[in-house]
Structure 1
Amino acid sequence: MVEKKLLSVLFGTLFLGTSILNGCSSKAVSSTNSSTGIIEVGISQLVEHPALDATRKGFLEGLSSKGFKDGEKIKVEYQNAQGDIPTTQTIANNFVSGKKDLILAIATPAAQAAYNSTKDIPILITAVTDPVKSGLVKSLDKPGTNVTGTSDALPMDKQFSLIKELIPNCKKVGILYNTSEANSEIQVSKAKDQASKTGLQLVTVGVTSSNDISQALTSLLPKIDVLYTPTDNLIASSMALISSKCIENKIPIIGSEKAHVDAGALATEGIDYYKLGFQTGIIAADVLSGKKPQDISVQTLKETKLVINEDTANKLNITIPNNLKSRAELVVGGGK
């Protein structure tokens, strides 16, 4: 009888211990490197260009501001796909097999690759235009998946208003975009709506690699009055070439973010990608502290900033209205 009681107590203890462990595994981050206690974070970035680099920097500083500093509480592994979408899948698979505790995916293709690889490891996304249409979350308010983070959804109405203010005689707006990026297709669709609302005609040309850009511009520029550059990663990486050819042909560019203007676009009314990344880092800290991604809303930045390139305006003989100049950040350089 005593032996039976002892066995009963033993099995009860084992059951309780197992229940506790199972309860722990339901947290957003369930494990760390067992030998060091360090949380392992993998960062997958589609390509290097100023906006995405600023986002990554902001993310790390956002995490650090909440006590998760690289080399102390966390260990960060950064991988860049160099613009090759299949490579984003390889990176994601490696992060999953390496049992990362959290993945940051920068740009839509990197985010989709990460989500294809795991439905368990928490994924933070940033610089993703439309997480719902990209199949990453069920809704922005309540993701319902292992994905959350931030979207760089554009204030496209402000950007098309800027076209009307700076180039009042504009009738045709061109868009050059990468047909391989889902986020770019989404932006082209939204641009068509904005063009219709503002009485402008949209002329679109798709490319698949940087090698196509020069020829595409040669075909496109004679047909348009203004070029609009979306937050397309291939286009962002080629802005030096694009702005140079546009200035040469006296075609102003309205960009979708500040880095485009720094590279020679005329102007933009866009978001700050460093701030977007910082906000993503704050959300990541919440996940690392135990919150579940599926319950954290995907956030956007409401604040925008007008940026104008004075050098480009002078080269194009465009006079900047005082009401715009007084509230703008003025930059110089870029283009030729």
Structure 2
Amino acid sequence: MKLNRNINKTRHNEFSSLRLFVSAVFIFSVSFFFIFFSQNATADSADKNILIVFQKSHGFRQQLIDQLQTDLSHYNYRISNLELGASEKISPQNLSTISKQQLLISIGSQTTKILLEAKIDTPILSALIPRHISKSLKKAHANKNNWSCLLIDQPFDRQFNLISAVLGKNQDTGVLLGPYTADLQKTLKKISTKTSHKINFEKVKDSDQLSSSLKKINRSSDVLLTLPDPSIYNKGTLRGILLSAYRNKLPIIGFSKAYVNAGAIAAVYSEPKQISKQITQITKNYFIRRSFKKDNYYPDEFSVALNKNIAHSLGIKLSTNETIVKQIKKAEAKK
């Protein structure tokens, strides 16, 4: 009996020692894992400094900046903001801040222009920039590497798909082409055919020609598709274009939500949350590749704005926003 008790006692001591050893190994492993990955995370975040650069921000831009800070904070990035002043030159202090970053997210065309003219080496991802401005800046700064733009313009096929969803296929679509959009004629012709629409172009060389060109579009077209060309569509011409189209029962497809509020019957556009989501994804891919996949990105996600009062007065019955979005996405999925 005494021998058995000694054996059991010995086994108990051995088991206790083994348990203490296993616990010590576990605690060491967990501590090592925590320290190792904490150090890696710190080193990783130090290599991913992102600076959101902008000028005076309010409304849509401020919503985008706020959303970007929220979305990017979910990842291992160090995010900070820099508001540039009215001057077109960047101060030495701000240049020093910029030089410590791995990526600049530039909000707006003017901010991007200032950064490019400062000949900054840091990679730039520009947002809320129109296609025609991106084109002219890329021509002026052809040697700038690692710069990409998420355009504010919607893809052209999406706009024709909007016409299909709102008015049906086989529409005679009128388009006014100005100095900033004249290069799009072949592209638009190809896409209109692909989406089962006809297209009528009228070129507008100057403001004096706008009225006569618009009259021709009114006579030959079922709908006017507007493009972001500031030489045609601006504060001075907006009211006249809307009134002329309305008198001739010509529905207008706008290029922004604001244009729909002013009198266009529909537009596709992207919300700050949708833009921020895509910027975040582009940013993630950038840090994997250390380069941008494209020079220009078009918006992936979109919303639809409708002016049902104007549509009703033109005898057009509109579906719900959700239904129209689904129709456009279905058409895009077939590409």
Name the TM-score class by shorter chain.
0.5 to 0.7
Aligned residues of 1:195 and 1:201 also touching (Cα < 8 A): yes
Match of 1:175 in 2: 175
Matches within 5 A, 1:153-168: 154-168=154-168
Aligned residues of 1:148 and 1:294 also touching (Cα < 8 A): no
Structure 2: runs of 5+ lacking an equivalent? 1-46, 74-78, 99-103, 326-335
Q: State the secondary structure of the residue aligned to 2:84.
A: strand
Q: State the secondary structure of the residue aligned to 2:323.
A: coil
Q: State the secondary structure of the residue aligned to 1:242.
A: helix
The CA deviation string for residues 260-306 of structure 1, in whole angstroms up to 9 with x for no partner, is 222211123x231423542476479879xx95996244554323333
Q: Could you tell me how far apart the structure 1 residues matched to 2:270 and 2:85 are?
A: 22
The structure-2 alpha-carbon separation of the partners of 1:318 and 1:283, relative to structure 1 and needing over 3 Å to count, comes to closer
Aligned residues of 2:89 and 2:118 also touching (Cα < 8 A): no
Match of 1:75 in 2: 82
Count, aligned residues: 261
Aligned residues of 2:226 and 2:253 also touching (Cα < 8 A): yes
Aligned residues of 1:128 and 1:151 also touching (Cα < 8 A): yes
Task: Tell me which amino acid in the other structure corresponds to 2:308.
Answer: E
Match of 2:90 in 1: 95
Structure 1: runs of 5+ lacking an equivalent? 1-26, 31-38, 80-90, 138-142, 330-336
Match of 2:17 in 1: none
Aligned residues of 2:130 and 2:151 also touching (Cα < 8 A): yes
Q: Could you tell me how far apart the structure 1 residues matched to 2:212 and 2:111 are?
A: 28
Q: Could you tell me how far apart the structure 1 residues matched to 2:193 and 2:264 are?
A: 23
CA positional deviation for 1:76:
1.1
Match of 1:123 in 2: 124
CA positional deviation for 1:311:
0.7
The CA deviation string for residues 215-272 of structure 1, in whole angstroms up to 9 with x for no partner, is 653454334321101234552655444323311221111223333222211123x231
Matched, 1:278 2:280: no
Match of 2:106 in 1: 104
Q: Could you tell me how far apart the structure 2 residues matched to 1:40 and 1:317 are?
A: 46
Q: State the secondary structure of the residue aligned to 2:260.
A: helix
The structure-2 alpha-carbon separation of the partners of 1:113 and 1:228, relative to structure 1 and needing over 3 Å to count, comes to farther
Matched, 1:225 2:222: yes
Q: Between the two structures, name the one with larger relative contact order (CA 8 Å, sep ≥ 6).
A: 1
Q: Which has the larger radius of gyration?
A: 2
Q: Could you tell me how far apart the structure 1 residues matched to 2:182 and 2:65 are?
A: 26
CA positional deviation for 1:104:
1.6
Q: State the secondary structure of the residue aligned to 1:59.
A: helix
Aligned residues of 2:260 and 2:306 also touching (Cα < 8 A): yes
Q: State the secondary structure of the residue aligned to 1:94.
A: coil
Match of 1:193 in 2: 190
Q: State the secondary structure of the residue aligned to 1:217.
A: helix
Q: State the secondary structure of the residue aligned to 1:246.
A: helix
Question: What do you get for the CA RMSD once the two structures are aligned?
Answer: 4.7
Aligned residues of 1:58 and 1:277 also touching (Cα < 8 A): yes
Please, what TM-score do these two structures have when normalized by structure 2? 0.58
Q: Could you tell me how far apart the structure 1 residues matched to 2:229 and 2:245 are?
A: 17
Match of 1:248 in 2: 247
Q: State the secondary structure of the residue aligned to 2:253.
A: strand
Match of 1:3 in 2: none
Match of 1:312 in 2: 310
Q: Which protein has the bigger helix share?
A: 2
Aligned residues of 1:44 and 1:106 also touching (Cα < 8 A): no
Matched, 1:295 2:291: yes
Q: In percent, how many aligned pairs have the same letter? A: 18
Task: Tell me which amino acid in the other structure corresponds to 1:194.
Answer: I
